[in-house]
Amino acid sequence: MTRLTSKFGLGTARALTVACVLLASLTAGCGGRTVLGGGSVRVESIDEGTALRPTLRLRAYQAHDKNTADIYLTDLTPEQLEPTVDPTTLAGSIVHVHMFIRPRPGRTPIEGTASTAAIRHVVLANGEVGVYSGGGFMLPSGNAGDGRFGGRISRASLKLTRATDGFNDLLGAAEFSGSISAPLDDAMAAKIEALLEEAAAQTRPR
C-alpha cells in the first residue's frame, strides 16, 4: 500500500489511488464495488455523497463463545502492524466488528433494524486519525469458533465519534454495509487490535 496523504488529513496529495480507493464519489465511478479478499465493505455517507471502500485483504477473528466474536480487517500489511513501525506514517483503514449476540429465530429479532454487532472503522491518514463508530444487524455465516467466520451487515449506522484535531470528516453520518469473513487467528487479530487501540488513543471525542 502506497503511503499517501489522505484527503481525510491535512495533506495536499490528490493521487488517483486516494480518490478512487479511500474516498470515492458515489456518482463518479472508479469501477464497481470493490471485491475484497474477505468480502465487500462499503461505508456510504448519508449526507455528503461520498463513500469509503477500502480493500481489506488482511483479516483475522477471535471467538469468545458461541454468541461473541471479534472480527478485524485492514488494508495494511503484516509488516505495517509491527511495533517498530511509526503509526503516523500509515494511511489506511482498520475495521473491527464485535458480534455480541448471535441472532436466533424465536429468541432474538431477525431483522435489519435489530442490533447484534458493534462496529468501529478507524481511518489512518498519515498522522491524523478518525474513529467512526456505531452498530447494526449482522447475519452470521457459520459459527463462532469455526476455522472461518463472518456474516452480512446491511446499512449499519456509523458516525465520527473520535478524531485527532486535524482529521477532516468527509463522511458525516454514514451507513456500513458488506459481507465479511476472516480466519480464526488469535495472534493476528491481537496485532490488528493493538494498532487500532494505539491509533484510537491519539484521538479525542467529537
pLDDT at 87: 87
This prediction has a pTM of 0.81
Q: What pLDDT was estimated at residue 40?
A: 76
Compute the average pLDDT of residues 108-117. Answer: 67
Position 113 confidence tier, pLDDT thresholds 50, 70, 90: low
Closest C-alpha to 50, from 17, 8, 2, 94:
8
**What whole-number percentage of the chain has pLDDT above 70?**
76
- At residue 95 the predicted structure's pLDDT band, cuts being 50, 70 and 90, is very high
2-6, 57-61, 138-142: lowest mean pLDDT where?
2-6
